[in-house]
Amino acid sequence: ARTHTHTICSNKDLADSRCSMWGMTLFSRESFPPPEVKGLFHPQASFDSLWWSMLTVFQIITGDSWNVIMYSAMLYNSPYIALYFIIVITIGNDLLLSFLVGMVMVCFDCTV
């Protein structure tokens, strides 16, 4: 059971880091929201480093104001950038759900 959980965790981490690196490639040196309107929104999202990129991808996956980041990215890039956000949300939510179900299954295995 632990091996299954470890596999799910490593797959989630791998997908998160790949989405983060993809975001760094697309959006490096850009901040969402841009610095001139920084006071209007809560903490800014950034793809400048791997740490901030992973944090931003986690924010997108959990649904915490991901639309603000997406609309800001679309404003300063192509509208097709929305595809990146749709892919990240789809993959991230699927892996997050798999992780949750895997953890519940491990807990049930431990109690039986």
pLDDT in tens, 30-48: 656 565 655 555 456 777 7
Distance CA 34, CA 18 (A): 24
**Domain-embedded: residue 74:** yes
| Residue at 108 is within a domain | no
Q: What is the pLDDT of residues 94-105, one digit of tens each?
A: 877 877 787 788
What confidence score (pLDDT) does residue 36 get?
61
Cα separations (Å) of 39 from 22, 33, 56, 73?
27, 9, 18, 17
Encode burial over 23-58: b for 16+ CB neighbours within 10 A, e otherwise.
bbeebeeebbbeeeeeeeeeebbbbeeeebbbbbbe
Q: Are 60 and 69 in contact (CB under 8 A)?
A: yes
Assigned domain for 111 exists? no
For residue 89, is pLDDT > 80?
yes
Q: Assess if residue 45 is contained within a domain.
A: yes
The answer to whether residue 107 sits within a structural domain is: no
Residue 61 lies in a domain: yes
Q: Does 49 have pLDDT greater than 60?
A: yes
Domain that holds residue 92: 2-97
19 lies in some domain: yes
Residue 46 belongs to some domain of the structure: yes
Instruction: State the total domains in the chain.
Output: 1
